[in-house]
Chain A
Amino acid sequence: MAEKRFMVQIQNLEKFFGEDRERVHVLKGVSLDIPEGSLYTFLGPSGCGKTTTLRCVAGLERPDGGKISIDGKAVFSAGERVYIPTNKRPIGMVFQSYAIWPHMTVSENVAYPLTIQHRPKAEIKKRVGDVLKIVGLQGLEDRPAPKLSGGQQQRVAFARALINEPKVMLLDEPLSNLDAKLREQMRFEIKALQRRVNITTIYVTHDQGEALAISDQIAVMHGGKLIEIGTPHQLYSRPKRKFTATFLGLTNLIEGKVTELGGDSKSGRMESSKGTLSFIPAPSLAKGQPVVMSIRPEHIEVIKQRPQVSENVLEGTIKEAIFMGDAYHCQIAVGDQLLRVHTHPFLSMNIGEKVYLHLDPQSCNGLPAEDTEGVDESMMGL
């Protein structure tokens, strides 16, 4: 693969809302680089700054500090006093509400970016036809916008964002207004569409399932800061921060203190109220530090008889077991803690039964107990 080229670069972005005493610091030095052609997701709970960051890229918000470049050209720079207004940036945007203009037809909506440039009619007509075909809406050109279903409105919004061949596509929670079933289906469509037109896309969502499903890379944000960047796989199976581990999917946390770190930092041990446990340590972990170990419910193995191995085996009592069809979701008491465990549906789970739990060290992530501020350098540039 050739050298990675960054389409969008954000450096030390700062943003405040409100005035004087009610001033709120919403972006605290956010920096990230978005590779050309990738689908890059900003993920985090509401109020984490993900939408604000996107709106800064769009130029709909004016940051208070930092720099944003698109395709190597600064669109905002506090230092050089550069601010390119939204309508001069090479972007296309799909809004949370879709923002389909109700006084226009489908083709008038889609053609808008071209009509305001006074392009020839024939060209507009052809390109509207092309782009409607891409989003699968051919034949609906003359339908008035209010007569569209939610899914169709969304496709119109995509077509309108795509027609001017922007360098970056910005999607602000585009699926949050759809019902659950359609949302599932649209995930695949967005991913397929993005691959087909191969456009750099920034996707904002608070839904971790959505983020895992469609992203090439995810930037996890919290409290106006970047927490961690990685591929969905990396973030899910090998998180480096406690916040990432708890925000993406379900997990169990066991607290303790680091007693041993392997020379290659590929292994470690901790002392906890449940005994000695082995794990894969996060890079920032040091010996003697407090640690939390994260293990996913599906990575805990339930064994009815005492197993041969003794490493990372805990004894527990089944407190609750709910049959979910594809699995049992159990709560198992180990000492004073309830662990969530997902087991195979064929394994009978009786409440009150004593079982053994095997926590595979390869699936145990040792993470710093206190989430320090910001992203440390070792995590950048994955």
Chain B
Amino acid sequence: MTRFLNSQTLILIGCSLFVVYLAGIPLVMLLYGSIRSAPIGEPGAAYTIQNYVKAYFDREFYLLFWNSLKFALGSCAISFLIGTYLAWINERTNTPFKKLFMVMSLIPFIIPGILSTIAWILLLSPKIGLINLVVMGVFGLESAPFSIYSMGGMVWAEAIHLYPLVFLLMAAAFRNMDTSLEEAALTAGSSTFTTFRRVTLPLMRPAMFSVLLIMFIRSIESFEVPALVGVPARISVFTTKIFLAIHQFPSDFGLAGAYAVTLLAISTAGVLFYQKITRREERYATVTGKGYRPRVIDLGPWKYVTCASAFFIFLLAVIFPVFILIWSSFIPYYGVPSMELLERVTLANYHYILNYPLAITAFKNSFILSVGSATLVMLLTSVIAWITVKSKVPGRAFLDNMTFIPIAMPGIVLGVSLIWVYLTLPIPIYGTMWVLLLAYLTKFMPYGIRAASASMIQINRELEEASFASGGTWLQTFTKVILPLLMPGFVAGWIYISIIALRELSTSILLYSYSSTVLSIMAFDLWEGGQYTYVCALGVLMVLLLVAMAFVARKFGAKIGIAE
């Protein structure tokens, strides 16, 4: 009989248990917490349904529900229209400057949500908004034509933040479509328009629907725009309501829990629906992995119209926000661009940030958490992906599902759950970096497992068997053969996770303490304190750090993995 407790078994069992702990415990504790009258340990805590009664029998609840829905559906629709339009121009038309559009579409991807929200407030605020002031000046208006502090303003700010993801997903869908299906329709005598309506659209429908669902989930979970814009505008959605229930004095953990369970139910329904759709999508077999050369439509003179419209979108979505952020970071006090202010351009904001002790802590913490969580998530999910893809261990489907569960957990809900977990369990990490790290691991596990599984499937089974046949142990095989071959997916996942970890706000805001402050929290606090110019300087530095990290990761990955 072989030794039972060898390193392989220990690693595999250890990683599996860790995943179950990360994904399962918060869920259990959230449900538990929502039916308790007070936090564990406090006298008089008992089981109760009072939290739900309080939540659901509040007249405000239905307003809240309606607002959340309006906000999510609106952002979802607008981001979908913009993203799909740009993706179509890019993949299927002969519009000039296509390459440039590709880059422009991706720039907002790297700007943290809190910064793009701030940028839009600086552009569209009725009092100080640059666009408002310019339009008022040009047309001689008495009052501001736009207001960010409205449902429309919130939807706009969120949609602009979300559309790059739509662009990426839809561009992939357009690219992977087998154009011979369209060509077959053309040869059968149907016109370009009929072909689009009868063939292209039905084939794209599953992809479009799944993108819409992702956007809906993303926007119903969104925290930045509702917190920065919605709270001053007195427009509440689920995420801000949960945040306020905890940030009021005294905190109402039970009520936050009840709202969190409701939000969780909505996003879980979305995710389940999404999985059902994408499973059916596979039957449509439009994506076969073959390198199709997409049929490019000659737009004739219309190509100048599409080109102009794309430039207009980029002007709004990229150039204005980036400009206002950079501009505000170099001026001594916030003001509309003018010759007078231009003469007073200064590095004082950067000087202030770089000499502000808390900022140094925040930079350090964010960097450690971002690199640490990205690395740990990718290592953990690589092992999990090996189990779910390569091994025949019973229960591997369950493990795959557990790793994916946190995708349905909005950041603020995860925050509430983890408060319950670490106030209850005798693990003294509440208020430290460790609780943030565990939160990030949980939150980013689903992205890691996707990247790792997709790469793991590509690795021919015989490549690892050859290592066993050469006398390699499981650990040697994993580190010397599997991990290097996994490198392209590992690096892609790492870059993505380190970027979203560095700008994480909605979970951290419920779990941080003074010593574990991170950059996004600091930006939030500076903004709340009205120090706009400092926020912008901090934001520019954050973006520079993000770009540098992505660049280094790519270099490093190319060196140790296989060159693409």
Contacts and interface: CB of A to CB of B under 8 A. Distances in A.
Interface stretch (B72-80, B365-373, B457-465): B457-465
Nearest to A102: B562
B480 A116 contact: yes
A170 B469 CA distance: 9
Given A86-B468, A87-B471, A116-B476, A101 B2 contact: no
B466 interface: yes
Interface string B454-484: 0000001011011111111100100011001
A160 interface: yes
B466 A160 contact: yes
Interface stretch (A89-97, A224-232, A234-242, A278-286): A89-97
Given A102-B485, A103-B485, A164 B462 contact: no
B462 A95 contact: yes
Interface string B32-55: 000000000000000000000000
Contacts of A116: 470-473, 476, 480
B431 interface: no
A99 to B, nearest CB: 4
Nearest to B8: A85
B2 A85 contact: yes
Contacts of B561: 103
Contacts of A98: 462
Contact of B470 (A81, A96, A97, A160): A160
Interface in A259-285: none
B469 A93 contact: yes
B1 interface: yes
Contact of A93 (B466, B480, B484): B466
B456 to A, nearest CB: 15
B462 A97 contact: yes
Contacts of B484: 101, 103
B2 A58 contact: no
A83 interface: yes
A103 B481 CA distance: 8
A99 B460 contact: yes
Contact of A99 (B2, B463, B473, B487): B463
A310 interface: no
Interface string B183-221: 000000000000000000000000000000000000000
Contact of A113 (B463, B470, B485, B487): B470
Contacts of B463: 99, 101
A329 to B, nearest CB: 39
A227 B269 CA distance: 57
A60 interface: yes
Interface string B112-124: 0000000000000
Nearest to B483: A103
Contact of B469 (A58, A84, A101, A103): A58
A93 B468 CA distance: 10
A70 B402 CA distance: 42
Given A99-B462, A103-B562, A164 B2 contact: no
A319 to B, nearest CB: 44
Contact of B460 (A83, A97, A117): A97
A161 interface: yes
B465 A113 contact: no
Contacts of A92: 469-470
Given A103-B484, A103-B485, A103-B561, A87 B460 contact: no
A112 interface: yes
Contacts of B480: 112, 116
A35 B191 CA distance: 72
Interface in A63-105: 81-88, 91-93, 95-99, 101-103
Nearest to B466: A99
B401 to A, nearest CB: 19
A92 B465 CA distance: 11
A164 B468 contact: no
A132 B562 CA distance: 24
Given A97-B460, A103-B485, A161 B469 contact: yes
Nearest to B460: A97
B2 A95 contact: no
Contacts of A85: 2, 468
Nearest to B463: A99
Contacts of A161: 469-470
Given A60-B465, A95-B466, A103-B484, A117 B2 contact: no
Nearest to A96: B462
A164 B468 CA distance: 13
A87 B466 contact: no
Nearest to B467: A112
Contacts of A95: 462, 465-466
A172 B222 CA distance: 54
Interface in B417-440: none
Contacts of A103: 484-485, 487, 561-562
Contacts of B469: 58, 60, 86-87, 91-93, 161, 170
Interface string B5-26: 0000000000000000000000
A87 B473 contact: yes
A101 B481 contact: yes
Contacts of B2: 83-85
Nearest to A112: B470
Interface centre among B460, B465, B484, B485 (most CB of A within 10 A): B465
Given A81-B1, A102-B562, A103-B561, A117 B471 contact: yes
Contacts of A113: 470-472
B439 to A, nearest CB: 34
A314 to B, nearest CB: 51
Interface in A112-157: 112-113, 116-117, 146, 157
A24 B20 CA distance: 33
Contacts of B1: 81-83
B431 to A, nearest CB: 43
A82 B1 CA distance: 5
Contacts of B467: 87, 112
B81 to A, nearest CB: 42
A161 B470 CA distance: 7
A366 to B, nearest CB: 44
B367 to A, nearest CB: 29
Interface centre among A88, A91, A95 (most CB of B within 10 A): A95
Interface in B64-104: none
A263 B465 CA distance: 54
B472 A87 contact: yes
Nearest to B561: A103
A88 B468 CA distance: 9
24 contacts: A58-B469, A59-B468, A82-B1, A83-B1, A86-B468, A86-B469, A87-B470, A88-B471, A95-B465, A97-B460, A99-B460, A99-B466, A101-B463, A101-B484, A102-B485, A103-B484, A103-B561, A112-B467, A112-B470, A116-B471, A116-B472, A116-B473, A116-B480, A164-B470
Task: List the 5 shortest-distance A-B pairs measured between CB atoms, nearest first.
Answer: A99-B466, A93-B469, A86-B468, A99-B462, A113-B470
